[in-house]
Chain A
Amino acid sequence: MWGIPKEKLTEFAAFLCTDYAVIAPVKQGNTTAFALFAENSELFLADRPHYGPKQFLFTDNEEMFRYSGARVRYSPKKRVKPYLLFLARPCDANAVEVLDEFFLSGFKDPYYAEKRKDIALVALLCASPCENGFCHSVGANNVEKFDLALWESGKHYAAMPGSLKGDRMIRESGLFVKIPDSEQPEVKGSLHIDKDPMINEKTLEREAGRCFACAACTTVCPTCTCFEIADEKELRGKRESVRRRRWDWCMSSDFSTISGICFRSTKKAMLRQFINHKLRDFKKEYGRHMCVGCGRCISHCPAHISIVNLVGRDDAAAAERNLQPANDKRQNNNDKPGAKRAKGKAEVSK
């Protein structure tokens, strides 16, 4: 079968740049993220990067249209090359499938569809579980649709084409060599949840006391799709304005309101909405979970709250695995910071 020497991967990325805008996992200072691959980019291969590739397809602070001269105009930026998602782990490849299911069904989202069009995928299958991952529990530890799949095999990455495009990448790059056959790995995440998990209300009650409602979980989630829409007046002319949408999340206490009154302002209720949407509601409609088990929400949580501990486990087991709640005042007073953030808006649900 085909394989590429490990040290040739950067060269391969550079080769792909001739036909594609390559989105690759790269080092960025102390962190790692998907970014457009450039000459001086340093690929990050050890693990899934800290941040997923969502920003490229569902873009934060994206222009929806401009209004001027009594007309509404949406003109997408012209992209010469289609995107190629390079070395996406199964979690992130599955995350794109989840975004597809959501944005391309019902009322199709033209902003997403335009960027998603003709995207190519070079997946990097995981050889070992990553910290906090539970991809296998949600069926996202493997990739079904790809153009090229790579996985570690000694000094090479074994390569399996999944489409004509992928086949062409192998042949035309001139970087691939024949290597001994290697079995495609199917890794299990380090954590586990039930197939159809249920929130453990007792654990939720306790854990929510530590939540800061900082929305780190929803911000780093590669499948969170909620957004806010806002208009801005253009300074150039009184009658010109631009409408943008930016990422928004259920972990903000003023996300859900009626006439300015919050109806989901407790940490407990916000966490419940987040988890139920990820692991219950989405599946009812689309037949798969909205969660890909990447574990980023766990890794990034400053309060050490884990979605895995909040679902489907009996309380004793969860408590054992978990940090004990810090013995501080927040425990008894857990809704105050969120309430403040709602800027004087009354709270109905306590």
Chain B
Amino acid sequence: MLRKTASMSVTGAFLLVTLIAILFVSPKKTGAQTGNALASPTPDTSRAFADKAVPSVRGTKVDIWTAQQPAQNRFVSSPSGICTDPICKVGSPGFVETGYYKGMGSPVQNQLQQYVTYKNINGIPEPVWGLGNLNDNTWYTFQTLYSQTAQRWEAWRNGQLVWYVPTPLNFTQGALVRCGAEGKPIGVQLGVEVENMRYKLTGGNTWILYNYTDTFIEGPYCVFKPAEFGAFGWGPC
């Protein structure tokens, strides 16, 4: 009996010591892994996107008003593009987008420029700036397109091809079209107006107009809210 009790006590003590060891060692291990100044990923909330799920979409074309963007903004951009995921969130989706870009982090201070960002599925975004200087208070038509004849993703402005990447991305169509406004830092005033949103399907060659009421609004910013530097709205406003 005594031997059995002693055996149980030794086993219990061993388990207790093991548990304590796990509790003490685990936090140290986690701390070592994150032992630098880099923060944990957080979602961006400074955006107002109009999303529309469109299966087999290969092009998007949007009229965008550049407005007069404030000089002190870190950056404001007007993304319009295609995402491979119908819920285009941080993570693995591939995408191609274009639009205008301006800001303190941009190459030319307070100069609007066209940009492209593209990303393979499971890849890392590759931004391309300096695709033409743009004017304030001007309408531009921005377009992303997967050319089925040339087999490449392209970016256009006002009917002119400005950029393409012939090395294949690992997708040729998307599941979502998106346009809207994005800025930094969080809380920055956004003022991007977009109209005449159109998309093109794989196998088709016509631009299909869609109404803003079809879209899902992504982000906490208001829709069609008059702003200091323009109005954020789209469709037949």
Indicate, yes or no, whether A interacts with B. no
Q: Point out residues on A near B: beta carbons under 8 Å.
A: none
